[in-house]
Amino acid sequence: MTRSRKPALSAASAHDVSMRVSRHCSRNSPALGCGVPGLRQHVAWAIILAWGGALLLGGCGSVTPPAEHAGRASASLQRQAGAPSDVVMHALSLVGTPYRYGGNTPQTGFDCSGLIRYVYLHSAGRALPRTVEELSRYGRQVAERELRAGDIVIFGQRGKPTHAGIYVGDGRFVHAPSKGGVVRLDQLSSRHWASRTFSYRRP
């Protein structure tokens, strides 16, 4: 099926999200992503594209979204009550933070459950469990069709939960994988993660 093209994302829309990121970073200055010069604009575009198009993520460099992707993002953002949640903005602002087993701050690095706990504690004031095993039982389970931004995605193999991330919308999630070495944004539909999806939890 061929999708009709939508108008490109307006400069005003991009500016609005960028300002939201700036305000978020001002309140959460310890976040590594907020302290890197030029990264706020990168995070703003990451948020926009995470809702509506294919993300072009290149380290800490600037990202110029294609018009088609940006158009889908604009409409999708409107459907999401006009703005991403603080949880999602905070998670995206930490993309690029180094991985470290047992880590739970931007300064020391993160493992997967440490990232989730940090984001929820500092953006929502909620102390989520510290291990993947505990996260797999926390909150309530939701079906894939009910997923919404901020939900926790649990991955596992042979019936055992082994990894977790934060769903940010449009089939994407932020997580801290040991392979790759940094907090990053990935697609649930990718071959690797689709074969390991365990459950979805709403804190």
Catalytic, out of 42, 69, 122, 163: 163
Count of CB atoms situated within 10 Å of the CB of 177: 18
For residue 192, indicate whether it is catalytic: no
Q: Minimal CA–CA distance to 201: which of 143, 115, 114, 161?
A: 143
Catalytic, out of 42, 90, 122, 175: 175
For residue 122, indicate whether it is catalytic: no
For residue 15, indicate whether it is catalytic: no
Q: How far is CA 18 from CA 83, 110, 116, 168, in A?
A: 11, 25, 23, 17
Catalytic, out of 34, 69, 112, 122: 112
Report DSSP letters for 13-53, one per residue: HHHHHHHHHHHHHHHTTT-HHHHSTTHHHHHHHHHHHHHHS
SS3 state of residue 164: strand
Catalytic site positions:
112, 163, 175
